[in-house]
Every structure is written in C-alpha cells, then in structure tokens.
Structure 1
Amino acid sequence: MDPIRNPFSPGAGTPPPELAGRDDLRESLRIALERARIGRPAKSAMLVGLRGVGKTVLLDRIRMDAEAAGIHTVRIEAPEGRSLPALLAPQLRQALLRLSQIAAAKDYAVRGLRALAGFVGKLKVTFGDIEVGIDYEPEPGLADNGDLEHDLQALFEQVGLAAKSASTALAIFVDELQYVEEAQLAALITAMHRTEQRQLPVVLVGAGLPQLRGQMGNAKSYAERLFDFPMIGPLPPAAARLAIEKPIENEGVAITERAVSQILQVTQGYAYFLQQWGSHTWQAAHASPIDIDAVNAASVTAVAALDESFFRVRFDRLTPKEKRYLRAMAELGEGPHRSGDIANCFSAPVSSLAPTRSSLITKGMIWSPNHGDTAFTVPMFNEFMKRIMPGDDWR
C-alpha cells in the first residue's frame, strides 16, 4: 500500500480522518452554545475519560464547530506546574481585543481590558508566571483585590458583558483540567457560577481524566449542578468499525470482515489505538483487500510503537516505587483493584503505600472509580507494565 496515502493519524490530539460516534455530544454542546448566545441558561460541560479516548480531538472539533457558527473561543491546555491565571490571561486578552473591534462591544471590551490589567497587576505577586501585554491602564477597584476567586469573577463578568453586547458568546476550552490546583479550580468554578447567575454568554468546555469530576466537587460542592460531565469512553462497535472502514474505502481500498473484527478486538474501541492499528495495518498490507494477516503483522509493530511513545513517556516520569506500585496493579489484572489487594503484592500495609498512590493520582496515572478502588487512567497499561518489568524481580 502507498504509505503516502495512509489515511490514519495516530498522534497527540491529531484529528482522525473519521470522527465517529461523537455526533450526539457535539450537537448537545452546539445547542448549549447557541442558547448562551441568545441569553438562555446553558450548562457548561466537562468531558471526562481515560487517556486515548479522543477527548482532545473532540474538544478541538467542538471548538471548530463553535467558531464556524460565529462564536468567539479561546483554548488553553493546563500542564502541570503552570498557574491557571497565567494560562487564562493571555487568551482572555486576545478575546477582548477581538471583541473591541466590534462597535457595539467596544466600551465593554475596553473595560474588560482594564479589568485584566488590574487582575494581572495584583495577582502577579502570587502567580509569578503571569506574562501578558497590558493595553489599558487598570480601573481602580475593578478585579484588583489580589484575591483570585473575587478578581476572576469580576474579570469574567466584564468578558461576558462584552460578548453579550456583541450578540455572541465566548466559549473557553481547557484541556487537561485535572492538573489545575484545587484553589484555582474553585476560583474558575465560582467565576462560571457568577456568569450563569448574571445570564452572561460565557461557556466553559473542559476535558480531563475521570478524577476531574471528584476534584471539581471537592473544590466547590455545587460544581455537579453547574456542569454536565459526559463520560467519553471507547467507541461502540458500529462507530469503531466506521472509524476503520470509511478512511480505507475513501482511498479506494477494501478490507475484509475478519481484518476489521480483529482490529476492533485488539483496540477495544479506544480512539487512539484504532488510529495506531489502522495506520500499521495499512503499512503492513500489500494489496487490496487488506486481510487479517496484515492486522496480525501490524499488531507487532503497533504494540512496539505504543511501548516507545504512548506508554513509555508516562513510565519514564515515575519513581522506582511508583513503577513497582503500577507493576503490582498489573499483576492483579486490568482492574480496578482494591488498595488492600495491591498492598498484598508488596507485603506492606496499605497506609505505607498511600503517599505513592496519591502521587500517582496527581500525575494522572491512576484514579479511584470508587472509594478504596484504584484503576489505570491509560488503557492497556497493565499489559505494558508486564512487558517493561517482566518476571518477579520488581517485588
């Protein structure tokens, strides 16, 4: 098969050739954004799910849908070690500058830029990583108390008033939201609560690992009433099949039923793995139709590619004790597992492993589906741990 024509695109947030199985969620968020634009109540949403289910791709597609409809958007990613104000401030500045070009919104947008100047000036002492250009002098008393929760409310109000006067909405897209510290997350939730109370057209669409829902509930008890939390999981069989078959057929190539079924079985419907196996199967195939021999050959190279990139990049961030903890989980199977069962693999008390477990949750490697349970956030990571740490030496 011509490698140049390979339709599949495994990558970090790389759009797939066929975004299958997500139309209902895209439509529900389109409705929410349009409701916000006309001043109707609209719930913000947090897309939660494991690694590799396509949250980032979906977040970006929803943003593209919004921009195509004339809604203003900003997009940030919340990596570990960066403050939320440092991430938000430059993007809100850009949004306000765009809104200031609209005659009906100019005065509100300029006041928003003054609020931003006060916000940055006072909070720079607390959050030293804030770097943003200042276009107007601050207005005394506007978003300049030096308290993040209070000032972010005031800033979001001004942004919302500018968007409302422009007859549009502002959609804020935040990826990897689970890395935002609790106090900053609380401030963000409070600011969104205030815009909802004032019926201002600001919508937050976030994405994060499954623990995000609990983190937001801990930050503010009313978070679960303020946001929807759609769970993004593996694609159902029909959608997973479409994600493989349609890109291949669009290239004028066929694939056998056995080959497709094998891909669905080994990938378990996870969006990223579908792209990996689709890409490697294309490379392994010699002619149309693509058969199961090509899939079997692709499985060897796809697993090797995952081990060296998708899995290894996460493994290399771990301490030796964290690696042993995950290896113990892998010994027990896919999970979830009780903390006591994991501790038994170490012959150690549960309490002695609590800091390790907590650190792994903070790093986004594991999460707790239920009290006392622990599960991987990365599908198939249990199999990788057995490959990378074989035998019993890890004990």
Structure 2
Amino acid sequence: MDPILNPYAPGAGTPPPELSGRNELRDKLKITIARILKDRPAKSMLLVGLRGVGKTVLLEQMLRDTEEQRIHTIFIEAPENRSLPAIICPQLRLAMLKLSRIEKSKEAAIRSLRALAGFVKGLKVTYGDIEVGLDYEEELGLADNGDLEADLTTLFVEVGKTAKAGQTAIALFIDELQYIKSEQFAALITALHRCAQLKLPVVLVGAGLPQLRGKAGNAKSYAERLFDYPEVGALDKQAATDALVKPALDEDVEFDADAINIIYEKTRGYPYFLQEWGKHSWDVAQQSPITSKDVLEASELAIAAMDESFFRVRFDRLTPKEKNYLYAMATLGEGPHRSGDIAAVLNKKVSDVAPVRNNLINKGMLWMPNHGDTSFTVPLFDQFMLRIMPGL
C-alpha cells in the first residue's frame, strides 16, 4: 500500500493518529482545573509508567486540553544534567509577562517578576546554569535568601497570586520528572503544598518512570496526600484495536481479526510498539485487508527497527558492567527479579553489584516494584538483551 498514506507514527513523543484508552485521565485533569478555578481543593497529578506507554504524548495532549480551558500552561522536559531553577525560571518569566499585559493582574505580575529577579540572583551561585532575562529589579527580601525551598515557595506564592488576580491558573507540565534531584524535587513539592494551603491556582502535571512515587514520598512525607499517581500502562485489547483500526479506516484500509490478535500478542498493548507494528504491517501489505501473513512478515521489520532505535539508544548509554547486569537479568526472564538471583547469575555477592544496580536505576533503566525486587523500565528489554548479547 502507498507508504505516503501510512498513518502510523512511531517516535519519541510523536502523537499517534488515534490517542485511545486515555480519556479517563484527560477528563480527570479537566475536573482538577475546573475545581482550582473555583477555589476548590484539587490534587496535582503525577503520571507514572514504563517507557513506551505514551506518557509524553498524553502529557502534551493534556496540555492542549488545559489551554482550551484558557489556562496559562508551562511545558518542561527535565533533562538529567540541568537544575530545576534553570529549567523553570524562563518559563515562569514568560507566563508572568503575559499576565502583566492584563490590567487586573498587571501589578501582581510585576511583583512576581521582581520575586523572580530576587530568586535568580539569590541562587545564581548555587545553580550556575540559571540563564534568564530579568525585566525588573529585585525587591529586597522577596525570594532572595539563597535557600531553594524557601525562595521557590515564595516565588510560587507570588505566581499563584498573579494567576488568581487574572482569574486564571498556572499549570506546569513537567516530563521526565524522575531526573530532578531529590532536594530540588522536595523544594518543588513544598512550593506546591503552600499554594494548595493558600488556595492559589497553581497545579503540577508531571510524568515519569514508576520510581517517581517513591522519590516523591522520600522527598516529602506529605507528597502522597498532595498528588494523585495515575498509572499509564499498556492498552487493553479494545483500546489497542482502536489505535490500529481507526487510523487505517480513515484511509479505507481494514485489518483481519487474526492480524489484530497477532499484533496485540506481540506488542502486549504498549502504544509505541503498536505504532511500529502498524507502520510496518501497512508497508508490507499489498492491499486491504491487512492479513496475519502481512503482520508476521512485518514483525521482523518492526523488531529490527526497535532494536536499532528504541532499544539501542538506551543500550549504548550503558557501561560494560551495566550491560552484563542487564543481560543476567534477561536470562531470568521478564521479571521482576530478586537482587540475589541476579547476583547469583553473575557469581557475585549482592553488595558487589549493588553500585551497578543503583547506576541503572539512576539512568532510568531499572526500578524497584518492591523492596529487593528489580524490574526493567523498558518493556520487552529482556528479549532485546538476549538478541544483542547472545550466548554471553
């Protein structure tokens, strides 16, 4: 079939042609936004899930939904090598500049921009990567103590007061939230908590790997009461079918039932994998309907494509010791696995390989579903390790 009309979109954060199975989470955020606009209590939201489940896609769709409610939004991807103040300050500045153009929130916005100036100057020595334009002189004693937790709280309070004056809200969308350092995450939680106490319209919608729950709880004990933690997982059979069938039907192409069953079995309903199998099945098929024979031929192409991109980009970041640890895990199956069992495969003591395990957790390759258990954050990565390192 015509590859130019291929509707499927495998890629990092690339919006799929059909975002299925996520309406409940989208509706939940719409209710949250509506409540904070009416001074009603509402929890911020942290989306947690493995790689390839579409957290980034969902986060960006939620941002678009929120903008339709006429809310000021801020989107940030948290990189591993930059501080929270560095990534959040430029975005807060832009939001306050927009609100400074509205007469009813102009005065409050200017005060927020003065607080931002004090915040940046107070923390510039500690966080040298902060680069942001300053539109007003700082106000002495306003968010300029040089203490991240206290100053960020003051800054968020001023931002919240500005939003309230403008009869709007500030919604922060932060992806890859697990990469924010613990003390900075704690400061962010404290600032959001204070805004919630004062009924100020500031809300966070974050996304990250499953360890985000534990990281939030370790940062601040009250985090479990401040956030909801909806899990973004694989799609059920109906949602996965919709993700495949509806885009094809828009091009007058159908799938056989057996073809759908094979794709669902091989992808286990993970959205990224569904897009890969859909793309390659389309390219292989000569005509509609796409058959099980087409899908089986396309499976080899889909696996090869993921090995060279989705899996390989993560594999290449690993040290030899980390690769060996993951290979040992893979020989035990999908997991989760006890740390002692993995160490036994390596003929090592648990304490000897603990630093490697911790590095893999910090790199976002592993997480601990329970104490002493270890699991891959990337679905089907065990199968990739056995393919890429056969017979080690």
> Which letter does structure 1 place at the counterpart of 2:318?
L
> Which letter does structure 1 place at the counterpart of 2:112?
G
- Alignment match, 1:247: 247
Partner SS for 1:252: coil
Partner SS for 2:311: helix
- Alignment match, 1:129: 129
Q: How does 1:29-178 map to 2 (within 5 A)?
A: 29-178=29-178
CA shift, 1:297, in A, is: 1.2
Q: Is the 8 A contact 1:163 1:170 kept in 2?
A: yes
> Which letter does structure 2 place at the counterpart of 1:145?
N
- Alignment match, 1:280: 280
Q: Is the 8 A contact 1:245 1:255 kept in 2?
A: yes
CA shift, 1:230, in A, is: 0.4
CA shift, 1:26, in A, is: 0.4
CA shift, 1:102, in A, is: 1.1
> Which letter does structure 1 place at the counterpart of 2:89?
A
How far apart in 2 are the matches of 1:37 and 1:166? 11
Q: How does 1:284-295 map to 2 (within 5 A)?
A: 284-295=284-295
- Alignment match, 1:234: 234
Instruction: Tell me how many residue pairs correspond in the alignment.
Output: 392
Partner SS for 2:375: strand
CA shift, 1:255, in A, is: 1.1
Q: Do structure 1's residue 216 and structure 2's residue 216 form an aligned pair?
A: yes
Partner SS for 1:87: helix
Partner SS for 1:42: coil
> Which letter does structure 2 place at the counterpart of 1:302?
A
How far apart in 2 are the matches of 1:303 and 1:229? 32
How far apart in 1 are the matches of 2:95 and 2:34? 18
Q: Is the 8 A contact 1:52 1:273 kept in 2?
A: yes
CA shift, 1:254, in A, is: 1.2
> Which letter does structure 2 place at the counterpart of 1:121?
K
How far apart in 2 are the matches of 1:140 and 1:34? 36
Q: Do structure 1's residue 313 and structure 2's residue 320 form an aligned pair?
A: no
Partner SS for 1:50: coil
Q: Is the 8 A contact 1:43 1:228 kept in 2?
A: yes
- Alignment match, 1:360: 360
Q: Deviations over 1:42-83 (max 9, x none)?
A: 100000000000000000000000001101100000010110
> Which letter does structure 1 place at the counterpart of 2:84?
L
Partner SS for 1:310: coil
Q: Deviations over 1:93-135 (max 9, x none)?
A: 0110111111110000110000000000111100000000000
Partner SS for 1:200: coil
How far apart in 2 are the matches of 1:322 and 1:330? 12
> Which letter does structure 2 place at the counterpart of 1:132?
V
Relative to structure 2, which stretch is displaced further, 93-102 or 377-386?
93-102
> Which letter does structure 1 place at the counterpart of 2:201?
P
Q: Is the 8 A contact 1:41 1:199 kept in 2?
A: yes
- Alignment match, 1:15: 15
Structure 1 residue runs without a partner (length 5+): none
CA shift, 1:296, in A, is: 0.8
> Which letter does structure 2 place at the counterpart of 1:79?
P
Q: Deviations over 1:152-187 (max 9, x none)?
A: 000000110010011111100000000000000000
Q: Is the 8 A contact 1:48 1:210 kept in 2?
A: yes
* TM-score, length basis structure 2: 0.99
* TM-score, length basis structure 1: 0.99
How far apart in 2 are the matches of 1:47 and 1:186? 18
Q: Is the 8 A contact 1:38 1:167 kept in 2?
A: no
Structure 2 residue runs without a partner (length 5+): none
Q: Deviations over 1:349-378 (max 9, x none)?
A: 001011000000000000000000000000
How far apart in 1 are the matches of 2:94 and 2:295? 47
- Alignment match, 2:270: 270
- Alignment match, 1:379: 379
Partner SS for 1:63: helix
CA shift, 1:234, in A, is: 0.2
Partner SS for 1:141: coil
Relative to structure 2, which stretch is displaced further, 292-301 or 368-377?
292-301
How far apart in 1 are the matches of 2:95 and 2:297? 49
> Which letter does structure 2 place at the counterpart of 1:165?
A
How far apart in 2 are the matches of 1:271 and 1:45? 21
Partner SS for 1:74: strand
How far apart in 1 are the matches of 2:320 and 2:190? 39
> Which letter does structure 1 place at the counterpart of 2:78?
A
How far apart in 2 are the matches of 1:156 and 1:48? 24
> Which letter does structure 1 place at the counterpart of 2:50?
L
> Which letter does structure 2 place at the counterpart of 1:344?
A
Partner SS for 2:10: coil
